[in-house]
Structure 1
């Protein structure tokens, strides 16, 4: 049985269902959506727009061709031909059970059926199914299209291989499925969140702090620690060289101290609700809902991009998962093709990521260099220097470059890089590149660039393999008639 989702169905198109659809569609999966809400297409369309924007910031790896999102009028139409069906209707046992039973009756018996429930036990939901062995909880976190975790929870009648298959099918769409050993109300994540939420309500009620202060305590301290290491690994480090045993011995007695009110539930009176709501409005009311979503997405992208480069470039946590997902995207991307002609080569079309800007809000010098380096890599792929070529012991190394920074790029700007191949023999690749802003064609920077072909096994410069040299010569010959750019060969500070 294939471990890739071929066709997906989403039943329910709210915040979670719409984001599931975005995750599927942006992974290249045709998806059908059923939601009787009269504005479902608008709502899901807005979620999809934010998801596409976030992916444009998240990765420069080539995404697959977008899947087709089709809205249908019945559950039966939605599940026809689908091998992954995700139920995301409102959190009521009777409603969910009824919908899942309808899905079960109409779907292929081998199709996986996941529920997005945040706390209902799967045994309750699969009660009336004919094929309960393929039903499970796939509890995601918002936004589903960015946060990669799904808790996979089976009920009494769920087959163990169903959960393993679900985990395998999530991996190609950039998600990590974690299988719980037993079902329990609210699973793992929401039980932890509920504990923090309950204590937070008491801190607000007792006027210890306001909502903004409480959020600041989380986001400026342990929230960042948890984002990349979780709870237990963080506490292991807190134990010093002696590790977790020392931490528990040192801080374990605190559990018996009356620090929290987790066994005492706050009474959510109208007065307390008004208090929390008014403080929250003061904290975030200046932003619209979709704008807050976009700010959240940018922040998450920045964290994940940073984590991708940590651990000596190997990545860490969600960043390591992103790196693996990007490697898969590159591996599955169509081989780049371009016919040699006298036209400049458009090699790269990046956007300015949140992590690319400095304190002035402008793209940093390093990222200008990255654009040119990535464009050079794109040219190498055009002539056949791909990962297989490098793995076989051949590569090109940059040996010299001269950049001019001419204008500013700002967050969100769409850019592109064009290149001209200057006279060179293939053992050396000499190019001249222009970085421009797409909206007004403004010239932002130029780069004169020289690469040298090397054998990593021999540790010296050697000619490229014949197939690569042949492709390179096609582009070099096509550009031989172009005039040499005016500033090619300049030295630093030299007048034009």
Structure 2
């Protein structure tokens, strides 16, 4: 039975939470009085369904449904997690939490998406203050893993533990903010950068586009992988952070920024920034900008995943948790995944080189299945591909789901021959691969016999697949 998450408030953030939970296999119940809520969340869900699976090599859980309810009580009944994402108005949030606690399970986690209120302010007057925490995410919630988990002084330790476990299970990174503070952690950085950017535009020193370019072509790329302090540690050279601090510490007293000053938010300043922003990207719709953002995030996160760094390490570990045994079916479904954006070529379909990766992934899954896994490789033995023959039969487009069926055609001694069929989710045959592998010693880089337990597993699997092929042939000719 699927677990239930309730989303109270279905705007951009609430919709992102709904998509994240649903795509991770939860049943989601939404309450939002906006008559357009279902359409708006549907648009967010469409973006999320297209992009989140691109981050994973393994099949994600079967998606849960999203249902819409006419009251807070209907939405939260039986929910394990309740996410409040209503507008930033103190009275409204307190009233919503009262309604939630009147009906919700006492063990449910009650979380607020707020960036402006501290948990102690939300816990004030609550029937069970220890049940309420802040879980502040970042847009788009369905792709960005960070969520600032701020328990506040009244939060129960068991609530914090449950919150961490649930957020981790849906692929997020709960950053435990141990002492409550205005704007938590990340938004304090964003506010500082935003404040300085407003001055630069107001004083005519830079346009909105020039400021964005300074970030996306420069330090933003470093921050995505190393954050702030690690970036500066590297900047200190071999002497590290101490040298950096000694060299640049005096700059803190120089008038480089105006962070302690706030520009007057006049209509003239609003008009100036809005006009520059329109000139910068007004030719694109919000949906087009969202798709570009999501495509770029997928490509960046997958690059970090390939390097096992930063947010990519988190996704890699979560992906490994989604891996399931191949089982004993004939054929074996060795790969089941979605085509990511970074696999596309100039024609908009999957690059032919990526088919080789798909079939390589299938053979690696088969190898792990027979015991030639990472530990076996680390011990000095593996299978190397000696020959492949691939045929491309139909286009494979970005965002499409596919699977690979693998058969062991021959397995004896050093030799292993596999037949792979790559199919679209609807069963359409997209490509095939006839692959011949040899078992090798990684020490000598020459072919050798596999260890007995691997050899036995390969021979046993080959026999099962051979019998299945004979039975099918007899049935076809019967």
> TM-score range with shorter-chain normalisation?
0.7 to 0.9
Instruction: Report the CA distance between 1:402 and its aligned residue.
Output: 2.5
TM-score by length of 2: 0.87
What runs of 5+ residues in structure 2 fail to find an aligned partner? 474-478
Q: Distance in 2 between matches of 1:337 and 1:288?
A: 49
- Tell me what 1:487 maps to: none
1:78 aligns with 2:75: yes
| Partners of 1:88 and 1:107 in 2: CA distance | 17
1:446-484 per-position Cα deviation (integer Å, ceiling 9, x unaligned): 53311346799997424546565333322223335899x
Shift of 1:82: 1.4
How has the CA–CA distance of structure 1 residues 160 and 103 changed in structure 2, closer, same or farther, with 3 Å as cutoff? same
Distance 1:462 1:158, change over 3 A: closer
- 1:190 Cα deviation after fit: 0.7
Task: Tell me the equivalent position of 1:325.
Answer: 318
Structure 1 residue aligned with 2:170: 173
Equivalence for 2:205: 208
Query: Quick check: 1:11–1:87 contact (8 Å CA) kept in 2?
Result: yes
Against the structure 1 CA distance between its residues 5 and 144, is the aligned structure 2 distance closer, same or farther, given a 3 Å change threshold?
A: farther
Distance 1:178 1:421, change over 3 A: closer
Partner of 1:307: 304
Report the counterpart of residue 466 of structure 2 in structure 1: 476
* Cα distance in structure 1, aligned partners of 2:259 and 2:117: 21
Q: CA 1:395/1:14 → structure 2, altered by over 3 Å: closer, same or farther?
A: farther
d(CA) in 1 for partners of 2:42, 2:302: 26
Mean CA deviation greater in 173-182 or 462-471 = 462-471
Gap change, CA 1:429 and 1:184, over 3 Å in 2:
same
Alpha-carbon separation, structure 2, partners of 1:414 and 1:16: 26
Deviation, structure 1 residue 421: 4.5
The whole-number CA distance in structure 1 between the counterparts of 2:71 and 2:401 is 43
Structure 2 counterpart SS, 1:400: strand
Q: Determine which of 185, 193, 203 is the counterpart of 1:196.
A: 193
Task: Determine helix, strand or coil for the equivalent of 2:6.
Answer: strand
Query: What are the equivalent positions in structure 2 for 1:238-387 lying under 5 Å apart?
Result: 238-310=235-307, 315-330=308-323, 333=324, 335-336=326-327, 338-339=329-330, 348=335, 350-357=337-344, 363-364=350-351, 366-379=353-366
| Matched position secondary structure for 2:98 | helix
Q: CA deviation at 1:255?
A: 1.1
Moved more, 258-267 or 465-474: 465-474
Aligned twin of 2:118: 121
Query: For 2:8 and 2:90, how far apart are their aligned partners in 1?
Result: 15
2:344/2:398 contact within 8 Å kept: no
Q: 1:256 to 1:459 in 2, by over 3 A?
A: farther
1:278-327 deviations in whole A, cap 9, x for unaligned? 211122222221221121111111111111111xxxx1110000000001
Q: 2:147 aligns with which of 147, 150, 159?
A: 150
Does residue 431 of structure 1 match 2:418?
yes
| Cα contact 1:36–1:73 (8 A) shared by 2 | yes
Indicate conservation of the 8 Å contact 1:76/1:106, yes or no.
yes
- TM-score, structure 1 normalization: 0.84
Residue by residue over 1:97-140, the C-alpha shift from the partner in whole angstroms, topping out at 9 and shown as x without a partner, is 11012112211112111100012111111112111012110001
For residues 204 and 395 of structure 2, the distance between their equivalents in structure 1, rounded to whole angstroms, comes to 45
- Closer, same or farther in 2 for the Cα pair 1:148/1:459, shift >3 Å? farther
Q: Could you tell me which residue of structure 1 aligns to residue 476 of structure 2?
A: none
The CA deviation at 1:435 is 5.2
Please name the residue that 1:217 is paired with. 214
Compared CA separation, residues 395 and 51, structure 1 to 2 (3 A): farther
Query: 1:187: which partner in 2?
Result: 184
Secondary structure of residue in 2 paired with 1:461: coil
> Contact 2:82–2:109 (CA<8 Å) still a contact in 1?
yes
1:14-33 to structure 2, matched below 5 A, reads 14-33=11-30
Gaps spanning 5+ residues in structure 1: where?
484-496
CA contact (8 A) 2:405 2:422 kept: no
Does 2:399 align with 1:401? no
Q: In the superposition, relative to structure 1, how do residues 43 and 334 fare at CA in structure 2: closer, same or farther (>3 Å)?
A: farther
> What displacement does 1:225 show?
0.6
Matched, 1:42 2:39: yes
Give 1:156 deviation, angstroms. 2.9
How far residue 276 of structure 1 moved from its aligned partner, in angstroms, is: 1.1
The Cα of 1:263 is off from its aligned counterpart by 1.4
Q: Secondary structure at the match of 1:424?
A: strand
How many residue pairs get aligned? The number is 468
In 1: Cα distance, 2:334 partner to 2:471 partner: 20
1:233 deviation in Å? 0.9
Secondary structure of the equivalent of 1:401? strand
Question: Considering only aligned residues, what root-mean-square deviation do their CA atoms show, in Å?
Answer: 3.3
Please give the alpha-carbon distance, in whole angstroms, between the structure 1 residues aligned to 2:412 and 2:289.
50
